[in-house]
Amino acid sequence: MVGLLLLPWRRTSTWWSLTHSVLNPVIGLMWFGFFATCAMSALGLLVIFPVLILLVWLVFVATRIGASLERSRIAALLGEHLPDPVPPLSDRNWFWRLAERFTCKARWSELAYLLLLLPFGLLTAAIVLTSWVSGALMLTFPLYADLLPAGSSLWGLALLSTGVGKALAALVGLVIVVLVAPWVTVAMGAFSLKVGRWLLTADREVELEQTVEALEISRSAAVDSAESERRRIERDLHDGAQQRLVALAIDLGMARSKPDLTLDESRDVIARSHDELKAAMKDLRDLVRGVHPVILEDRGLDAALSAVVARSPIPVNLTVSVDQRMPDAVESAAYFVVSECLTNVARHSRATSVTVTVANRSQRLLIDVTDNGCGGADSSQGTGLHGLSVRVSSLAGWMRIVSPVGGPTSVIVELPCEGGRASEPN
């Protein structure tokens, strides 16, 4: 029972909720001032219609930016990703897109949220700060009571001046600070999150439509990834082990058709056949390792990536902070992301060092591969990055490539680990 009452003290989300509540009126005041300025300007520009249209467009653009920032703030401080409910604009002219903005219900909901953020933020911040400040004042009352006029203070209907009164005030303050204020903070955080869900995200029907669309994209990406993997295996077999086995069969067939071979000729045929057989076995081992490395299944992602880094011709600084085994599909995707990125770095980047960071946070696996090469990487140019993007998308993750000309290049990947969708950044 005591553990349940003290639960907010054990959760870092309580303090993030406190931060969110305190920031609400500050950010709300900023947006209220902006919209009030726009409204006053609009009243003065009623006779200049083109300028008024430009002002309306500015309001919608600012609202879009503000709502995106608020969704990010809620995700960072309250721990929930709110899907963007605003549909993309069409490819028509500027005036038509303005009309689409004007008739979009989700955009008006975003505007309402930013307008309500000031009064709503003042309410939540006042409740949260009042609980913490009043608790702190009562808890420390015995320390400053003697400094007050007549050494007493009126709390409600009670005049506290004696030692018992001071101790009682401190006890009540302790209860408020330890129990009441944390739960009030959690409640205000949940209330803020509910308001955000109401105004900043899609309703249930639209959200289900977006989920279905995302699943269709993920399914298509999975099919493309499987087909691409099948073609790669066929190509590797045909160009590698199959060619060597054919050469081995030809050598043995020629030796069989010549029963009068000398001892030296027989040894030469056996040596060539042995070399071809070892090369074919190596190709098959590499192919099997490319399908699913045994070390990955036996020893996990850290050991498998360490083996990949050891084979890299470029110095690699590897950091793996994974405190548990990931699902097989996620570990396999992470392995191939790092392997393909290091291969691309060795082939195209002219880099002298690479940094690979892998970590799991909040049921998501994060991968960052950064090199100091020449940059200019593009997944549309057939460097293997497109296949990685397809593989990552098939697992409902996302991949971003930051590679300006001149470098450096960073490949950032996020993979969900328990069947959820990775929260793609705006």
**Tens digit of each residue's pLDDT (9 = 90 or more) over 65-109:** 998 899 888 888 888 888 777 777 666 666 667 777 777 788 888
The domain segmentation of the chain, as residue ranges, is 4-200, 219-291, 299-416
Residue range 299-416 in CATH 3.20.20.70:
no
Q: What is the pTM of this model?
A: 0.53
Q: Distance from first CA to last CA of the chain, Å, rounded? A: 42
Residue 357 has pLDDT above 60, yes or no: yes
Q: What confidence score (pLDDT) does residue 29 get?
A: 92
| Mean of the per-residue pLDDT values of the chain | 75
The pair phi, psi for residue 365, each rounded to 5°, is: -100, 120
CA gap 389, 190 in Å, rounded: 36
- The H or E element that residue 321 is part of is strand 316-321
* 125 class by beta-carbon count within 10 Å (0-12 exposed, 13-18 middle, 19+ buried): buried
Residue 426 has pLDDT above 50, yes or no: no
The mean pLDDT value for 128-137 works out to: 88
Q: What confidence score (pLDDT) does residue 244 get?
A: 66
- The better pLDDT of the pair 408, 298 is held by 408
What whole-number percentage of the chain has pLDDT above 90? 6
Closest CA to 57 of 79, 28, 89, 10: 89
Q: What confidence score (pLDDT) does residue 421 get?
A: 43
State the pLDDT confidence band at 2, using cuts at 50, 70 and 90: very low
Q: What confidence score (pLDDT) does residue 380 get?
A: 64
If you search the block for the tokens 């990703």, which residue do you land on? 81
For 236-261, the pLDDT digits (tens) are 566 566 666 666 676 666 666 666 66
Q: What confidence score (pLDDT) does residue 322 get?
A: 79
Q: What confidence score (pLDDT) does residue 422 get?
A: 47
What whole-number percentage of the chain has pLDDT above 70? 62
Could you tell me if 296 and 328 are in contact, meaning their C-beta atoms sit under 8 angstroms apart? Answer: no
State the pLDDT confidence band at 271, using cuts at 50, 70 and 90: confident
- The better pLDDT of the pair 64, 168 is held by 64
Q: What confidence score (pLDDT) does residue 24 get?
A: 92
Residue 288 has pLDDT above 70, yes or no: no
For 40-71, the pLDDT digits (tens) are 887 776 666 666 777 888 888 888 899 889 98
Range scoring the smallest mean pLDDT among 132-136, 195-199, 255-259: 255-259
Residue 162 has pLDDT above 60, yes or no: no
- The better pLDDT of the pair 121, 164 is held by 121
For 27-37, the pLDDT digits (tens) are 999 999 988 88
Residue 349 has pLDDT above 70, yes or no: yes
If you search the block for the tokens 């066929």, which residue do you land on? 234
State the pLDDT confidence band at 328, using cuts at 50, 70 and 90: confident
- The better pLDDT of the pair 22, 143 is held by 22
- The better pLDDT of the pair 368, 12 is held by 368
| CB neighbour burial string for 223-232, b if at least 16 within 10 angstroms, e if fewer | ebbeeebeee
Range scoring the smallest mean pLDDT among 21-25, 251-255, 363-367: 251-255
State the pLDDT confidence band at 235, using cuts at 50, 70 and 90: low
Q: Taking the CB of residue 409, how many other CB atoms lie within 10 A of it?
A: 24
The mean pLDDT value for 361-369 works out to: 83
